[in-house]
Amino acid sequence: MRFERIRSINIENLQHGIKHLDNYLKTHSNVLWERDFHNSLYERLEHQRSRGLDEAFWQFLVDELAKWKAFRPTPREIIIERGLERLERLRTHYAPLSTVSVQLDHGLSQVSWRDVFPLFRVAAEIKPVKHGSPVFPSKLCHFLCPSIYPVFDNTLVKTGKIEYMEYWTECKKKWEKAPGKGALIQELKSHFPEAACDHYPWPTRIFEICQY
């Protein structure tokens, strides 16, 4: 079965993922920025996003993506330059998604792959890769619209080569079928050291944590 290793979204898988991340952080004390499940990151992103996708926001995105090692071994200067060359196209495709993305637990259900593909396609042009890996564009799109683009991580996908379209579609399907979404959100929220920011991307983060 192609998606047999992509786990469903339920309370058991969420608790398992939270425990896994907690154990990981206990043995990697230098990973301070992930202890709040990226809550502070999304708060910073929302602050930057409020003024629109301008050059300063792009510089900020690249700095954050560097922390995630999203574009290595490509030099930062190349990512900056290629992104600025495509900034108007990114802005064009980002604009109609920006209002949907902040609808939190409902945003993912209100878009189709046809809606989200144009932004992903431009993002994929920024980091030149031989085999079209979806890792960088998925992370960039996630930073732009966190609740409607799940991050694709090779360490979580153990089924061989999967196109991002398939991964995205499976995330959407599993979120829509997930029982007790409110309970899932409350479970994850209970592990935050501080209050969740207003635009925390519950669908995609819960999906990702369930995969550990």
128, 131, 49: which is closest to 90 by C-alpha? 49
CB 175 within 8 A of CB 164: no
Residue 142's pLDDT band (cuts 50, 70, 90): very high
Reply yes or no on whether the pLDDT at 143 is more than 80: yes
- Residue 53's pLDDT is what? 93
* Segments making up each domain of the chain, as ranges: 11-210
* Percent of the chain scoring above 90 in pLDDT: 65
Half-sphere exposure of 121 (CA within 13 A, CB side): 9
Query: How much is the pTM?
Result: 0.91
- Residue 1's pLDDT is what? 38
112, 119, 210: which is closest to 168 by C-alpha? 112
- Residue 171's pLDDT is what? 93
- The span from the CA of 91 to the CA of 89, in Å, is 5
Reply yes or no on whether the pLDDT at 137 is more than 90: yes
User: What would the pLDDT profile of 17-44 be if each residue is shown by its tens digit?
Assistant: 999 988 887 787 655 456 789 999 999 9
